[in-house]
Amino acid sequence: MTDLNYDVAIVGGGVTGVAAGIAAARSGARTVVLEPRPFVGGNATTGLCLHSFLTRDMRQTVFGIAQEMVDRLIAVGAAVGHVPYGGFVSAVTPVDGDWFRIVAAEMLAEAGAQVIYGASVVGVERDGATVTGLVTAMKGGLRTVRAASYVDTSGDADIATFAGCPTRKGEEGTGKMQPVSMLMHFHNVDTKTIAATIGEVAPAMATRPDHPEPIPVYFNGTFSAWNDVIEREGIFPNRDHKVFFNTVWPNRINVNTSAVFGVDGTDPLAMSRAMQDLTQQCVRAGNFIRKHVPGFEGSYFMPQVVAGVRESRNIVGEYEITKEDVLEGRKFNDTVGQICFPVDIHHPDTGQAYFVDVGGDGAFDVPYRSLLPQGVDNLIVAGRCLSATHFAHGATRNMAPCLVTGQAAGTAAAMAAGRNAPLARLDVSALQDRLAEEGAYLGRAFERNAATV
Ligand SMILES: Cc1cc2nc3c(=O)[nH]c(=O)nc-3n(C[C@H](O)[C@H](O)[C@H](O)COP(=O)(O)OP(=O)(O)OC[C@H]3O[C@@H](n4cnc5c(N)ncnc54)[C@H](O)[C@@H]3O)c2cc1C
């Protein structure tokens, strides 16, 4: 079969790959997004909040394609904007998962990016420090996809791994990774009663133009009130089990509470077993919730089709984002955007979530170098698998950061392809100018620099 040729090839049409594809195509590059599933949007399609656009003190630090997507989702009634919340984060941005994939696909098409569904990259061809092709399994057999620049948005750093770049997995020392989980979708619920019964603090309340009253759209809490029945019936392995709720609708809610431990998201056999375990766990938990928790009487539910991986491989790139970078809210000259969501780690052994706020002014910069794998010149990595320690990854893995780093990586890949220059030696100030032109936010320091030029 003949090779397929592009300027930029993006591997993985998840949250990050969507932003990368839109950015690269808008920059004029002939862009392809390769995605095994029959939809784009990755984990955002499971029905979650895009955490987070605003710092603890309610200063917005994420704009660009991320904000455009929220605006487009609001326009179709599938988002309610950034809603203040008094819990572990100051504002939440819930979106409908199915509408996310629909809007994402529209935006990719409008930008001119081609998406090939049913396409899994299973190897790379490499000549010295240059990736020369992607060995891609698709209907009909293996096909080689060639481009000047490649973007790894696979979540698992698959391309960097195939290319032989250094990577690492999980907690330093133990290699333990956060648990995998599966969302549940409940219909015909009374969200106000649920929030009043389980919410740790007052729920995030939003208004919709098509509904008369404000509705709860986000809250979290525990099933502590049902510890005895949970223990007796073996619903969850622990007491005081945590649960997270989100929605944009008046009478539907997504419930995030399942977990399977010790699963390596890059191992297809382990993931297949986890898929089965999670589905059964969701059925058990869903029946318990319907029977016992006020607000769920008369509801019906469905476990999500796919399981979500919080943590697997990360590249060890030209720079690794550290705990101190997060705790001090550090800034970098080669910033390509900011992250303001707290570190959010679901403990690898217990699954219980803990949160640590970003320090300094509440946001840290993502250095361009943290997107660059070592040893290859024309590959850039973004999203969940960029270069960060286990602790820092607790912040970088979330979806607003993924959209920020995806936009930066797609833009950089297009610029490098256009100039026939290696990504590793791209003029970062030119990239920053281009990102700023496209509405991305690079932080106050960059604004000051730009103003004095
Ligand atoms: C249960 C759960 C709840 C979460 N809750 C939140 C939340 O409330 N808010 C928040 O902001 N974040 C949340 N997160 C984190 C966040 O959703 C993910 O970290 C984020 O979606 C990662 O984006 P990504 O683009 O890197 O990966 P993904 O969205 O997973 O996309 C990766 C894509 O690459 C494709 N792919 C993989 N390998 C290949 C290959 N070899 N070839 C081609 N394509 C490939 C996949 O099919 C997929 O579409 C949650 C995560 C989980 C698991």
How many other CB atoms are there within 10 angstroms of residue 451's CB atom?
Answer: 7
Determine the average pLDDT of the residues in 422-444: 93
| Pairing mode, strands 141-146 and 130-138 | antiparallel
Q: Which two tokens stand for residue 189?
A: 């619920």
> What is the CA angle 268-270-271, rounded to 5?
60
Q: Report how far residue 67's alpha carbon sits from residue 33's, in angstroms, rounded to the nearest whole number.
A: 21
The band of 217, judged by pLDDT with boundaries at 50, 70 and 90, is: very high
Residue with CA at minimum distance from ligand 1 atom 13 = 398
Q: Which two tokens stand for residue 3?
A: 């090779």
| Pairing mode, strands 31-35 and 114-117 | parallel
Q: How many residues does the chain have?
A: 453
**CA of residue 51 to ligand 1 center, whole Å:** 13
DSSP conformational letter for 371 = G
Res 453 pLDDT > 70: no
Contact in structure between 410 and 23 (CB atoms under 8 Å) = yes
Tell me the residue type at 287.
Answer: N
Ligand 1 pocket mutation pick from 32, 399, 404, 405 by most atoms within 8 angstroms of CB = 399
CB of 203 shorter than 6 A to ligand 1? no
What secondary structure does DSSP assign to 335-353, as a single string? EEEEE-SPEEEE-TTT--E
**CA of residue 77 to ligand 1 center, whole Å:** 23
Which residues fall within 8 angstroms of residue 305, CB to CB, at 6 or more apart?
Answer: none
**Preceding peptide of 272 cis, ω within 30°:** no
CB of 404 shorter than 6 A to ligand 1? no
Residue with CA at minimum distance from ligand 1 atom 12 = 398
| pTM above threshold 0.85 | yes
**CA of residue 44 to ligand 1 center, whole Å:** 7
What was the pLDDT predicted at 446?
Answer: 63
Q: Report how far residue 185's alpha carbon sits from residue 300's, in angstroms, rounded to the nearest whole number.
A: 8
Contact in structure between 101 and 73 (CB atoms under 8 Å) = no
Which residues fall within 8 angstroms of residue 32, CB to CB, at 6 or more apart?
Answer: 4, 6, 8, 9, 10, 113, 114, 115, 116, 145, 147
**CA of residue 331 to ligand 1 center, whole Å:** 26
Which residues fall within 8 angstroms of residue 403, CB to CB, at 6 or more apart?
Answer: 15, 16, 18, 19, 50, 62, 64, 65, 66, 69
How do residues 348-368 score in pLDDT, each as one tens digit? 988 888 899 999 999 999 999
How many other CB atoms are there within 10 angstroms of residue 400's CB atom?
Answer: 25
The band of 1, judged by pLDDT with boundaries at 50, 70 and 90, is: confident
**CA of residue 307 to ligand 1 center, whole Å:** 10
Tell me the residue type at 197.
Answer: T
Give Rg (Cα) of the chain. 21
The band of 452, judged by pLDDT with boundaries at 50, 70 and 90, is: very low
CA-based diameter of the chain, in Å?
67
Ligand 1 pocket mutation pick from 22, 35, 43, 46 by most atoms within 8 angstroms of CB = 43
| Residues 26, 27, 30, 33, CA torsion sign | negative
The band of 447, judged by pLDDT with boundaries at 50, 70 and 90, is: low
> Measuring CA to CA, which residue among 379, 265, 281, 369 is closest to residue 317?
369
Q: What are phi and psi of 4, to 5 degrees?
A: -105, 135
Q: State what percent of residues in the chain have pLDDT above 70.
A: 98
Nearest ligand 1 atom to the CA of 384 is 26
Q: Spell out the domains of the chain, with CATH numbers in brackets.
A: 4-174+311-437 (3.50.50.60), 184-303 (no CATH)
**CA of residue 149 to ligand 1 center, whole Å:** 22
The band of 141, judged by pLDDT with boundaries at 50, 70 and 90, is: very high
Give Cα 365 distance to the centre of its chain. 17
> Measuring CA to CA, which residue among 106, 135, 132 is closest to residue 120?
135
